[in-house]
Structure 1
């Protein structure tokens, strides 16, 4: 009798109580996987839903682009017959690069509180909090497949590695959200686990919708496409840079950051280069400086001196528009009646993040630079990050919306599209209803 994928999954299920590590086997038809992602109108976080546990429970999670793990509140209502703690010294703990092992303080072990357990350091970027007692565990996880343009069946992973945390770490997350989905550059983050389990290329693509009513999409593997438009063919590529220190993740462990950095060399406003202290654009020996991409902040953040020269140049280039009072957190605001409109948003100066050469740049149009704060007021959607922040430039969620970003972990490259409005499409146009 042939040993099929069905038999493999059944075999894994039988071994759950005795095996230290067992992963799901992909169906031959599974070419890629997807998550639907919707912007929360209150917190501006990007929310998805994943099935977890036995029986399966839909769990709302916030996307954390640079997060090192999928972490879930296990203190409040976690029930599952397939939950298994990872023991210190196990394969799971090795993969997770744990920072400590220990025993639970209670006399009777329970979910998220076990003896001989291993711990990592999950992060909630929205309250800037690290938790050193995140317990490594395994459980069933369910995620939807796709052929690239239409959704397919849900597939189950019998033993997905995740982190259990106490309820307090969910502070600051959107209503009903139980944790975060880490998409960072390490082995227990969602992209790397899925790539290993399903033999996908180690790549994923993010397409965040600017609408709070319609979902964007995250693709894992190959075959990303919006209806009738393969925008992946028009991507521009730049190297991903490794920050040797864990800024925003586990800084005290002195290990490489799981977050995504790119090499911005200069900034242009309306095609004109602004004067910036080039030292701020590099990453120094302490891991400070540089440019990272993050969904942990709703708007891009610029170190004060960078912010000052960019906003001054922007105001000078938009001298015909009427300035109005600042609307926190934004300092540079205009009357919307004095600004025209284009296919790619308000008719304002473009902002270019110039990368490895002057011909390679990420262009930010009005749709991603201007925020409508009231019926009559629009503001430049960049925030003053102060003097000597850990990272000089943080490209936030608003600047990512309706842009297609492909993170290739194997090649250590980022592919980006700039605004999809030029292609007469948006990130909300993936078809989540038509079955493959």
Structure 2
């Protein structure tokens, strides 16, 4: 009862503050723009935000599509003195959906490092965060999120992350993920777009109709499929249903129940994985198709199991001439196509390997599309309508372009320093 009374009070107070801010005419940009750089030593995608208000502290965080909230090392704070954590009775804790809370205690969340799978408890707190925005005139201005909710975490949780990284940036479907907090702060729709590359990429929260390389309409030609809740019932990740798999147009002969667990999109898994039985059937069919195309198998190179000689292989705009993989979605007309550019990883000048790995016998998803297969694809996550938009093929396949060509990345040099 005590918690309920406090929550009611905080709810009324926050509503009053929101009305007061609206009367003052808050700055409302069109979108928030997060440049993303790939850390080649770890294959992690790293974004940068700025902590604080007057004195901005650049803070590097690994992008996590499955993260329901952001967490940072407890040493990462713009405040000269530690911030008091929220109590379990706070509205903020209710929004965070803490699973281990009691009256009059600090609100704690389970912060996870998805690379090492380590989980530690951290306290829910807030800080001032500045992000790049598009204000309708120019890109690169900084706007403040004054009460950014996040979890603190011990430095131990940083193990396995890239050099200088201070935590994880959660882009999941929850009330305190970055897209939701940005939408609440600036009045956006709850949607964001992402375009990763082997070097520079971008995440755009809010309006992204301008998000295209010069003289391109790729953002207007997306295909769409419903986002679904996975069997694990975790609402924070993004999943869609694959109905069948085709290799060079031939349907893979597998039991339907192998695809029951929805396919997950992941920015923290470097290369796509498949459930063991599905992986075995997929790789057997793929190798058979590759041999029929006169591709020569060579010794595997870890972590990959199937490698081929590339020295004399024909190369096209879509990459090396290898079997084409189609993930067929709600109909034969809607498919996620994987050409050689997306499927083959070059490990040397003469050897390339199939960029799919065995995901084990009981994974949470039948297929996990990893970062390598997401590069140079434009993805749009609409949390309000639960739809995923995606470019039908890699941008480099269609227009010989990369996500690093997007105008949205040409922000002032000072902001990138």
Scaled by the length of structure 2, what TM-score is found? 0.87
CA contact (8 A) 1:205 1:219 kept: yes
Change (3 A) 1:327 1:416: same
- Normalized per residue, the structure richer in helix is 2
Partner residue, 2:70:
70
Please, which of 262, 269, 285 is the counterpart of residue 313 of structure 1? 285
Alignment of 1:306-385 (within 5 A): 306-319=278-291, 320-385=294-359
- State the 1:195 CA deviation: 0.9
CA contact (8 A) 1:149 1:430 kept: no
Partner residue, 1:52:
51
CA distance in 1, matches of 2:297, 2:254: 25
Partner residue, 1:144:
132
Instruction: Report the 3-state secondary structure (helix = DSSP H, G, I; strand = E; otherwise coil) of the residue aligned with 2:179.
Output: helix
Matched, 1:117 2:106: yes
Q: Which runs of 5 or more residues in structure 1 are unaligned? A: 1-18, 104-114, 247-255, 283-288
CA distance in 1, matches of 2:207, 2:76: 36
Q: Deviations over 1:73-104 (max 9, x none)?
A: 01x3645158452222111111111122369x
Change (3 A) 1:42 1:149: farther
Partner residue, 1:188:
176
- State the 1:344 CA deviation: 1.6
Change (3 A) 1:187 1:374: same
Matched, 1:101 2:101: yes
Please, which of 218, 227, 230 is the counterpart of residue 203 of structure 2? 218
CA contact (8 A) 1:322 1:338 kept: no
Partner residue, 2:37:
38
CA contact (8 A) 1:148 1:222 kept: no
CA distance in 1, matches of 2:186, 2:258: 40
What is the aligned residue count? Answer: 386
CA contact (8 A) 1:73 1:166 kept: yes
Q: Deviations over 1:310-351 (max 9, x none)?
A: 222222222201110011111111111132111121111111
CA contact (8 A) 2:212 2:219 kept: no
CA distance in 2, matches of 1:46, 1:221: 20
Partner residue, 1:299:
271
Instruction: Report the 3-state secondary structure (helix = DSSP H, G, I; strand = E; otherwise coil) of the residue aligned with 1:85.
Output: coil
Matched, 1:135 2:123: yes
Please, which of 384, 388, 408 is the counterpart of residue 414 of structure 1? 388
- State the 1:308 CA deviation: 1.7
- State the 1:309 CA deviation: 1.9
Please, which of 235, 242, 253 is the counterpart of residue 275 of structure 1? 253
Instruction: Report the 3-state secondary structure (helix = DSSP H, G, I; strand = E; otherwise coil) of the residue aligned with 1:238.
Output: strand
CA contact (8 A) 2:50 2:58 kept: yes
CA contact (8 A) 2:299 2:307 kept: yes
- State the 1:57 CA deviation: 0.9
CA contact (8 A) 1:145 1:153 kept: yes
CA distance in 2, matches of 1:177, 1:38: 12
CA distance in 1, matches of 2:331, 2:358: 27
CA distance in 1, matches of 2:138, 2:300: 44
Q: Which runs of 5 or more residues in structure 2 are unaligned? A: 1-12, 413-417
CA distance in 2, matches of 1:397, 1:360: 21
- State the 1:388 CA deviation: 2.4
Q: CA RMSD for the aligned pairs?
A: 2.2
CA contact (8 A) 2:273 2:357 kept: yes
Deviates more, 1:93-102 or 1:257-266: 93-102
CA distance in 1, matches of 2:357, 2:198: 19
Q: Deviations over 1:219-244 (max 9, x none)?
A: 10112412322321110000000126
CA contact (8 A) 1:351 1:364 kept: yes
Change (3 A) 1:348 1:147: farther
CA contact (8 A) 2:29 2:136 kept: no
CA distance in 2, matches of 1:152, 1:80: 24
CA distance in 2, matches of 1:80, 1:209: 34
Partner residue, 1:200:
188
Deviates more, 1:23-32 or 1:349-358: 23-32
Instruction: Report the 3-state secondary structure (helix = DSSP H, G, I; strand = E; otherwise coil) of the residue aligned with 1:179.
Output: strand
Q: Deviations over 1:392-429 (max 9, x none)?
A: 21110000000011000000010000211103321101
Alignment of 1:73-84 (within 5 A): 73-74=73-74, 76=75, 78-81=77-80, 83-84=83-84
Partner residue, 2:5:
none
Matched, 1:235 2:222: yes
